[in-house]
Amino acid sequence: MASRLGILSPHLDDAVLSCAHVLAAHPDSVVVTVFSGGPPSVDPLPPWDESSHCFRPGDDVVGARRREDEAALGFLHASYVHLDFWDDQYRTKTYGAHTTGVELRAEIEAALDRAVGQHPVDAWLIPLGILHPDHQATNRAALAVALRRLDLRWIVYDELPYHVAYADERTLAINRLRGAGFDVVQTSLEAKAVDKARAIGFYASQVSSLEAGFDQAVAGPEVFHDLVRTTRALRGHPSAPIAPKH
């Protein structure tokens, strides 16, 4: 079993929503959050932030959310890296976003490659890429990094609450992965009983917006798969996991 994990999280809460029990069993793990940036002052509030009932126009929403993440990961004895890429809800002219599309994808890949190189772990966990464009972007960038770092073990996690609430979208995510030349083989990771509701509760600004997703994340199974390169990805070589299990 892996002793120290690295988790690539799309947003400030996804790692805890999807992997809290595994994080609890692997102290000193590191969570790298990709879309943990945004404007220093958010005005007007986008619908998601407004639905939280925690913010007023002009607030430093991202700063507050980063502090929530620090508290949640501290509870789980994990460290954090907050990258400065802006959440999808802020990547509009309203907030002055100026990096999108192909340029943004290349910058995310480069940042993840640096982060992976700077943090020695036994395995990296990446999101399956269900539904949300930021989840899909994190998945694509992580796959590109995985192909450059074949010496590492790569594990895919099913995002909660998405994989419970949106089964069809989960299937689409797996099909996208297969279309890109990969497959997944379900695996198990050491897990530890933890008060997951309390861990998620540190994200106070997200709880009301999550609605039923809160209970789905607390009760839903944390699901993991070894990432496998298929023949298509290897251009004629046999299928193989990325990378051999430790």
Report the domain count for the chain. 1
Q: What is the mean pLDDT of residues 3-15?
A: 97
Question: Residue 177 domain-assigned?
Answer: yes
Question: Residue 46 domain-assigned?
Answer: yes
Find the domain containing 61 and state its range: 5-241
Q: Which residue has the higher pLDDT, 58 or 103?
A: 58
Confidence of residue 2 (pLDDT cuts 50, 70, 90): low
The 10s digit of each residue's pLDDT in 122-134 is 999 999 999 999 9
Question: Residue 28 domain-assigned?
Answer: yes
Q: What are phi and psi of 240, to 5 degrees?
A: -155, 145
Q: Please state, in angstroms and rounded to a whole number, the distance separating the CA atoms of residues 224 and 240.
A: 17
The encoded tokens of residue 161 equal 């609450």
The encoded tokens of residue 130 equal 């269900």
So what's the pLDDT on residue 3? 87
So what's the pLDDT on residue 96? 85
Question: Residue 169 domain-assigned?
Answer: yes
- Identify whether the C-beta of residue 58 lies closer than 8 Å to the C-beta of residue 167: no
Question: Residue 246 domain-assigned?
Answer: no
The CATH number of residue 116's host domain is 3.40.50.10320
Q: What is the mean pLDDT of residues 157-185?
A: 94
- Identify whether the C-beta of residue 204 lies closer than 8 Å to the C-beta of residue 134: no
- Please state the pTM of the whole predicted model: 0.92
Question: Residue 67 domain-assigned?
Answer: yes
The 10s digit of each residue's pLDDT in 11-22 is 999 999 999 999
Q: Which residue has the higher pLDDT, 140 or 231?
A: 140
